Amino acid sequence: MGVVHTPGANYGWRARIGLLQPGIVSDTNPYEFYMMAPEGVQMVQTSLGIESLSEANYARAIAGLEAPVQRLLPRKPDVLIQTGIPPLVHSGWGVEEELRQRVAKLTSIPYVTDAAGSIAAMKAVGIGRVVVVSAFVDPLPGLITTYLGHAGIEAVAHANAREGSDLEAGQLSLETVYDTAKGVHEAHPETDGIWITQASMPSVGVIADLERDCGVPVISTAQALMWAGLRLVGIEDRITGFGRLFDVREFSR
């Protein structure tokens, strides 16, 4: 196979996606990225430096966003995607536009957070009333509900996939995530979609099964960010096996 002579590493000859993740340890994020990534798409990853879940650490990460962005820029990413719902919903509606303006002062590279990507994804597949699945505990479910409400999406219920377990989110089984999502949707059949948030929790491996068994579109943070990242760099591939979202060829905020 010949070498493709384009800027960046050969592995990322089509696109290099810069990932800003909240935690300093990662297991699920890179694995699920490469489950979905088309050939020629590479991840370049760094951390926001959040070592433990606390409001003070969230605020510190938001205040210091420029530092990890500047760490990524020399690696020549084509787009920047950021995971981490807690820092955003703790900061409140409007924080994403503030962050976009701050990043725009450093680079013209497109930037999108998981909340913005997921909201755009839900709207793209017609979700207006959603059930939410995560491993988050109070007060995060309530903050997520309020945040979605500002975007015109009603979070009808929240189910905790980690309830009764002391496992880290990334150690949860796909079966647990599937059962939690299916159960909360069956309890609220009037909803028209499922959102599996918290990118550190396994999700993309059950999207197709949930869409088939529940009959509604399923959005996960990891899937939504992959979709947004690809569309923002002009890659319109229809990726199969990870939900009907990838039938949508254009990202719109």
Weakly modelled stretches of the chain, pLDDT under 70 = 1-9
CATH number at residue 110: 3.40.50.12500
Task: Report the pLDDT value the prediction gives residue 27, as an integer from 0 to 100.
Answer: 86
Instruction: Identify whether 21 is part of a domain.
Output: yes
Are 164 and 89 contained in the same domain?
no
For position 139, what pLDDT does the model report? 92
- pLDDT of 164 reads 73
89-99 confidence digits (pLDDT tens): 999 999 999 99
- pLDDT recorded at residue 1: 37
Asked if the structure places residue 236 within a domain, the reply is no
Question: Are the beta carbons of 76 and 107 closer than 8 angstroms?
Answer: no
Residue 52 is predicted with a pLDDT of 81
Q: Is the pTM of this model over 0.75?
A: yes
Residue 86 lies in a domain: yes
Tell me which residue range forms the domain holding 174: 117-222
**Number of domains making up the chain:** 2
User: 94 in a domain, yes or no?
Assistant: yes
Pair (32, 103) in one structural domain: yes
Domain match, 94 and 152 both: no
The whole-angstrom separation of Cα 204 and Cα 148 is 21
Residue 128 structure tokens: 């207006």
pLDDT digits (tens, 9 = 90+) for 107-146: 999 999 999 999 999 999 999 999 999 999 889 999 999 9
**pLDDT tens for residues 178-195?**
999 999 999 999 999 999
Tell which residue, 213, 211, 53, 217, has the closest CA to residue 135: 53
Q: What is the pLDDT of residue 3?
A: 42
- Within a domain: residue 227? no
Claim to verify: residue 83 and residue 47 sit in the same structural domain: yes
Does a structural domain hold residue 230? no
**Is position 253 within any domain?**
no
136 and 82 within one domain: no
